[in-house]
Each structure stands twice: as C-alpha cells, then as structure tokens.
Chains A and B, each alone.
Chain A
Amino acid sequence: MTLTVTDLSVARGGIPVLEGLSFSLASGKALILRGPNGIGKTTLLRTVAGLQPPLRGQVEGAEDQIAYAAHSDGLKPTLTVAENLTFWASVFGRNGIEQALDGFDLQTLRDRQAGALSAGQKRRLGLSRMLVTGRPVWIMDEPTVSLDTASVAMFANAVRAHLGQGGSALIATHIDLGLEAEVLDVGPYKAKPPEIDDFDGDFL
C-alpha cells in the first residue's frame, strides 16, 4: 500500500501555508518531515490524515489506512492504561494489547490510571496506541516530545519493527531517530502570497 501525495496545497485558518508538495511513501519506508515552527507541518499531517480538506492537490491511499498521533494523546485520565488501549483496539476492530504494552515497556503500569502517569509515560501510552490500531500507515506529529533517550530508542525500535512488517510512517520530528529514512524539508514549499483572484475566494 503506497501513500501518494500529488501537488498538495494546505491551508491553516483559510490561509495557504504550504503548496506544491508531492511525495510518495511505499510500504516499508519512513519519511521524516522537517521545517521551522509554524511552517505548517501539523497542517500537512492533518490534511494527509484526512482531518481537513486540501486546498489543492490529492492524497491517495490514506483512507482507512492511516493511524494518526497528534500532540495530544487522546487518553482518559480515569481509565487505566490497559482500558485505554483496549478501547482504541476495539474502535479499530481489533483485540490484543499485549504487544503494544511490551513494545513500550508498559506492562508494569497496565493497571495504573492514565491520569497518574508522568508526561513521558503518557506519551509512551499514546504512541503504543499506534500498535493496537493495526493500520499500515502511521502519521505522527512530534512523537518524541517529553520522551527520554531510552524511550526514544524504544519508539525507534517500534517504528523499525512496523516498517519491517510492511508498514510505513510519516513523521514530523526534529530529533534524529536513527532510522533509515528519507528526509523532506518542507521549507522550500512555503506558500507564496495568493494570486490576485478575480472571482470568488480570497477577496484580493
């Protein structure tokens, strides 16, 4: 399953931020997105994930294939670690959370309430959610925030294993994960001010 992005332009709050992006992501590959803050990486990821419509261009091979991990982990503080994971597994029509618990060293915390976890532990739980979805394309926005070195290695291993099983990953991050991955700097794709449109649209 290949994710293909063709001539994509994305907008945040109605204002174009990135334009003319094209790339494709074959199974077994990872793509790292880089670029300064505010350039529109999150907007790009949300567009690829199908949460917002693109301004122009196409995203193919994403529907019902992607698992999305944002800044916030979607965890419920009053549910335990295991309950949180079981919920997301069943939403995606799967069961079995052991692999995810093992992969992110969460076995000892499984009956702890998510609200009682540290920031790094929460993040690990949030990332382990990707494993229970069973989706082939991982789309991740700054996944290593608040992780220590050991946890970052744990995460890199999980991604490597996922790629090994024929999955793929699109990751916006600033740190070096030690992955064999292509790097795409989105800086050059920064949107130019919109053309003066004579018809409807941007009122210029």
Chain B
Amino acid sequence: MIALLLRDLKLALRAGGGFGLGLAFFLIVTVMVPFSVGPQSELLARIAPGVLWLGALLACLLSLDRLLALDWEDGSLDLLATAPLPLESTVTIKALAHWITTGLPLVMAAPVLGVLLNLPAAGFQWLVISLLLGTPALSVIGTFGAALTVGLKRGGLLMSLLVMPLYVPTLIFGSEVARRGAEGMAVQTPLLLLAGISAASIALLPFASAAVLRVNLR
C-alpha cells in the first residue's frame, strides 16, 4: 500500500505529473473574482469564504480526471486488480495521493488567497479548518466519479456532471463554516456536519468506487 502511495506521489512530482496545476488554477480563479465583481473590499470580504471554497472545489475537480484514467490506459489497473491489494485499498490510496498532491496544497494556499480577497482576520483559521476537514471528502467523492467514468474516452466533462451534485452538501457545510467564522458567528453545527460527511464518505465510498471499478474492468 505504501508502495502505491509513494509511486503516485512520485509520479505527480515528476515532469508532466501535473503537481501544482490545481494550485495554479485555484490562484487564477481567485484572482479573476475581483475582475468580475469589482474591487470593493467590503463586497470581497463578504464573498471571500464562499469564493475560496468554490475555487478549491473546482481545482480538486479538474485534477481528478487523470486520477484513474492514466492507470487504466497503460494497463496498470488490470495488474493492480490481480495484485494482492484489494481494490478498495487501491482506490483509498489513490484518493489519499490525490488529497496530498492537490487538497493539502489548496488548504495551505487558501490563507494567502484570503488576503487577496480581504478575508476578515477571524475567518482565516476557520477557512483553513473547514478546508482541512472538507477536502478529503472532495477527494474521495471525486475518486468515485473518476471510477465511474474511467473507461470513457471523454470522461472529464461527464465526470464533472456526475460529481458536482455529490459535492453539494460538502460545499454547503464547508463554506458555511468559513463564512460564519469570518462573521464571528458560532461554527459548531456546520463544522460537525462537515466532519460527519467527510468521515462517512471516507469510510463508505471506497466500497462503491471499488465496485464501480470492477464493473469497468471486466
């Protein structure tokens, strides 16, 4: 299992692995927001938590379509399916690798981008905490979408269509935590719900992803 994780991390970091693309996309989206809504700092401060959450979600989504497709194309998935590692673990490791190479950098970059959008001082810690709790769910749910569309030639767009509705609860609770934090309100309820969704997704979705992958492999 460790070997698979290390290989995926290595592949992401090598040339053409796409590491940092998600991060760059996150930066670009955030920079484009003031151009589209105007530079008034009160307005930016008000929408900052939501914009940052949406940006992180899109960056996650866009980096997903290669997650399983590459291993599918070069036959690695066939070989992994006959290896001693159960497919459930394989997809979990894949999701973990995706989170480390995409989700975690997004979490760490978010406060910097928060400065660009005038995020109120109280909001920073809750923004980071909500992203830290929410991005694993984004990775796991996204892996399910990637497994569904792995065999399709142009699966990327379809995957977005399938994954986005599944992201709704995570997005709502995640940005609610960030928003309430920024406005100095109590965050406990949405925070717990967000953590619950993350925990349940991580615990249960790999079974669905593996089932779907088995169907696609045959």
Contacts and interface: CB of A to CB of B under 8 A. Distances in A.
Nearest to A139: B82
A30 B218 CA distance: 25
The binding surface of chain A is classed by DSSP as loop
Nearest to A67: B82
Interface stretch (B10-18, B105-113, B180-188, B193-201): B10-18
A142 interface: no
Interface string A55-90: 000000000101110111111101100010011101
Interface string A105-134: 000000000000000000000000100000
A93 B218 contact: no
Given A52-B217, A70-B78, A74-B76, A87 B83 contact: no
Given A52-B218, A79-B7, A74 B78 contact: yes
Contact of A74 (B2, B11, B15, B74): B74
Contacts of A67: 82
Interface in B37-94: 71, 73-76, 78-85
B217 A78 contact: no
Mostly helix, strand, loop or mixed at chain B's interface? helix
A90 B3 contact: yes
B211 interface: no
A204 interface: no
B17 A78 contact: yes
B4 interface: yes
Interface of B: 2-4, 7, 10-11, 14-17, 71, 73-76, 78-85, 217-218
User: Would you list the 9 A-B pairs with minimal beta carbon distance, nearest first?
Assistant: A72-B75, A52-B218, A90-B3, A74-B76, A78-B14, A74-B75, A74-B79, A68-B82, A87-B7
